[in-house]
């Protein structure tokens, strides 16, 4: 019998296993976010005993926070947990279905490309050591992690621009955007960033 194991015991990992006896139809369920009735995010690792075709069914997408978002959706996968690609995905009667001809015996799947907490901490550190940024902690999440506030720019009479990201766990794409914006504003040689910080505080 083909053997498969599924692991989600790592940073941001999340999935529920229903039945993984059939390698062509591994049945899974998206679990609720921590201390929440909402569900949308999944991220898990699949380990195979040999390279082969594998089929997946995620069964409860009609119970997720934004069911309309699955129409036209394509799941993310990665072999090294760093470089992510999209995979053709079908929506059939509240089931999300996808297959992969695996090139390796370990595969990661995710709702969107993950943004790790370690990467988040490293981004905060770059602001801490910059000449234009101030970091403070507004409070704690349900998991005891910091809710961070970054202020870029100093003059209080400037335009004030608020940007909020990651208040929902599955919105990792928002922090990828924030990283690009923050690093641009921290670039002391970037003429656009210099002009923005002259006119506004973020």
Q: Judge whether residue 2 has pLDDT over 80.
A: no
Q: Which residues lie across from 44 on neighbouring strands?
A: 109
What is the pLDDT confidence band of residue 34, given thresholds at 50, 70 and 90? confident
Name the token pair of 163: 């940007």
Strand duo 133-140 + 146-152: pairing? antiparallel
What's the pTM value of the predicted model, to 2 decimals?
0.88
| Contacts of residue 82, Cβ cutoff 8 Å, sequence gap at least 6 | none
Q: Judge whether residue 173 has pLDDT over 80.
A: yes
| Residue range 56-115, pLDDT digits in tens | 999 989 999 888 889 999 999 999 999 999 999 999 989 999 999 999 999 999 999 999
Q: Judge whether residue 156 has pLDDT over 70.
A: yes
| Residue range 126-142, pLDDT digits in tens | 999 998 899 999 999 88
Q: Judge whether residue 1 has pLDDT over 60.
A: no
Do the beta carbons of residue 16 and residue 10 sit within 8 Å? no
Name the token pair of 98: 């996808």
């Amino acid at each position: 019998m083909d053997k498969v194991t599924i692991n989600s015991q790592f940073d941001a990992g999340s999935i529920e296993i229903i039945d993984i006896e059939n390698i062509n139809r591994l049945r899974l369920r998206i679990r609720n976010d921590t201390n929440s009735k909402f569900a949308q995010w999944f991220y898990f690792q699949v380990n195979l005993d040999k390279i082969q075709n594998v089929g997946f069914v995620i069964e409860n997408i009609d119970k997720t926070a934004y069911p309309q978002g699955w129409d036209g959706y394509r799941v993310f996968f990665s072999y090294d947990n760093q470089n992510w690609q999209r995979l053709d995905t079908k929506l059939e009667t509240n089931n999300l279905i996808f297959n992969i001809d695996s090139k390796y015996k370990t595969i990661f799947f995710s709702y969107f490309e993950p943004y790790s907490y370690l990467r988040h901490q490293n981004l905060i550190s770059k602001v801490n050591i910059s000449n234009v940024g101030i970091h403070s902690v507004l409070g704690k999440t349900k998991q005891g992690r910091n809710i961070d506030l970054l202020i870029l720019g100093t003059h209080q009479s400037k335009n004030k621009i608020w940007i909020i990201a990651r208040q929902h766990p599955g919105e990792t794409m928002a922090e990828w955007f924030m990283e690009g914006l923050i690093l641009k504003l921290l670039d002391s040689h970037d003429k656009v960033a210099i002009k923005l910080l002259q006119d506004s505080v973020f």
